Amino acid sequence: MENLQKIINITQIRKADEHTISKKEITSFALMGQASLAFVKAIEPLLNRSLKIAIVSGAGNNGGDGFAITRILRSKKYTVQPFLVQFKNTLSPDCDINFQKLDDTISIKSTSEVHDFSEYDVIIDAIFGFGLSRPITGFIKHVVESINKAKKTVYAVDVPSGLYCDKLPDSDTVVQADLVVSFQRPKLSFFFPENGNHVKNWKTVAIGLDEDFIQQQESNYFILNDRIADTLMPRPRQSHKGSYGHALLIVGSYGKMGAAVLSSKACLRSGVGLLTSYVPKCGYQIMQSSIPEAMCLTDENEEFVTQLPEISKYDVLAIGPGLDVNEKTTLVVKKLVSENNTPLVIDADAINIIAQNEELKSLLPKNSILTPHIKEFDRLVGKSDTSTERFQKQLEFSVKYQCVVVLKNAYTVISSPEGNLYFNTSGNQGMATAGSGDVLTGVITGLLAQNYAPLHAALLGVYFHGKAGDEAACKKGYNALIASDIIDALRIEKS
């Protein structure tokens, strides 16, 4: 999707800084000032003037941001104490200019001078920026440990100190930030599940970098955010149900008809014109009474699906939610995969069946959409020791089998046959609940039926599924949120 923002690496960030300074004819010091002001605007709604704030700055440009932030906050009458973690004898030129404008900075040059930060209410971390490439050691390690030990609210400038931008840290010495305010773009490492304690929340702020230049950089990583809403197709007043496709969901088994209900309801909420749900006989009354808008076909078997219905009249086919894994259902999945040439949406037990039958992978119709959670994906491709290893396997799987993979997690990641990764930014921890994935399958299926391209349908489905979860959490909270709340909050339209 051309309108989605790219995530860029360390080298490209530096190039973007240099390009902006040259093109806009501003100084690096002025750019630092813009960044610092943007940071303050981002955190100020979270502050009040009764708070004691410690700003812990390093000797590089991230530290320069910290000293500039100190002056801005003081001009707004906040109580701020600046600290300098002096890990080298000379400060970077722009850092030194901002440092010299303050006369009460407390310097930390050794372990014996490490401060107890628990006397402050808020700690702003500006020790190291995006360029860090080795573990934090020596007395600086004790500074980071003191910040974390204080158990106070921590805001990080651009990157939590100790966190790498593009790879997992090789040390536990990383600032644990409640909020990271990242300049212009989030860093790739924010999306790694292992970094959840270091990046509890993040937001980006524009600091004036040249967006066109950033978008011209080569990157296979993209941010899935509200910009995807701009790609929604209009729904003309003169259209009818035949304009929005007919989807077939092959779902459900005895004891798991809830998954069939959830995926079917979600499919209808996504805007599909017609929906037929194919279920075992035990699900007939459940479906007809729960979802009067859907048509229902039943298998001859009472408890699980054993036959593939006539599929030629449907625009889109999906299979998996609540399906069950058994010999006869496995034959249904094999028949569907081998005899159907149009993209499929494949979830849950259908994925597990494919994982158990290696030959089915090569039979997947091109541009099919698979929606596994972590364990299902590991069954499909083998276990991974780290999220970065898993992301690589995900990319390789999508390219090899020319399919879209929606890897469900705290930050759901979508991979494309072209070898791109899209990191979703909507959603919350309340969505870690039974049935949430069934809802997503229904949403994506409905969008695919409305003639969105498979990747496009997956991106829209993931983003709006997460956004619905956010809306639901506002009303129900995280703990009480259930999958039906996500369906009730679903609104697939431009805001």
Binding site feature residues for K(+): 62, 125, 161
Q: Minimal CA–CA distance to 376: which of 357, 349, 399?
A: 349
Greatest Cα pair distance, the chain, in angstroms, is 83
Paired tokens of 3 = 């309108």
Total number of residues shown for the chain: 495
Q: Indicate the DSSP class of residue 178.
A: S
> If you ran DSSP here, which 8-state letter would residue 52 be given?
E
CB-based burial, 26-50: b 16+ in 10 Å, e otherwise: eebbebbbbbbebbbebbeeebeee
Known binding positions for AMP: 408-412, 437
- Show the DSSP H helices in 76-130 as ranges: 93-100
DSSP assigned state of 24: T
Side chain identity, residue 113: E
Q: Which residues, in sequence order, are bridge partners of residue 44?
A: none
Question: CA-to-CA distance for 210 and 158, rounded, in angstroms?
Answer: 17
Q: How far apart are CA 449 and CA 247, in angstroms?
A: 6
Contact 437, 373 (CB under 8 A): yes
Q: What is the distance between the alpha carbons of residues 264 and 170, in angstroms, rounded to a whole number? A: 45
d(CA 58, CA 60): 6
Query: What is the C-alpha separation between 218 and 321, in angstroms, rounded?
Result: 37
Annotated binding site: 61-65, 125, 129-135, 158, 161, 259, 322, 373, 408-412, 437-438
What are the binding residues for (6S)-NADPHX? Answer: 61-65, 129-135, 158, 259, 322, 373, 438
Using DSSP's 3-state secondary structure scheme, residue 192 falls into coil
Residue with the two structure tokens 């702020």: 205
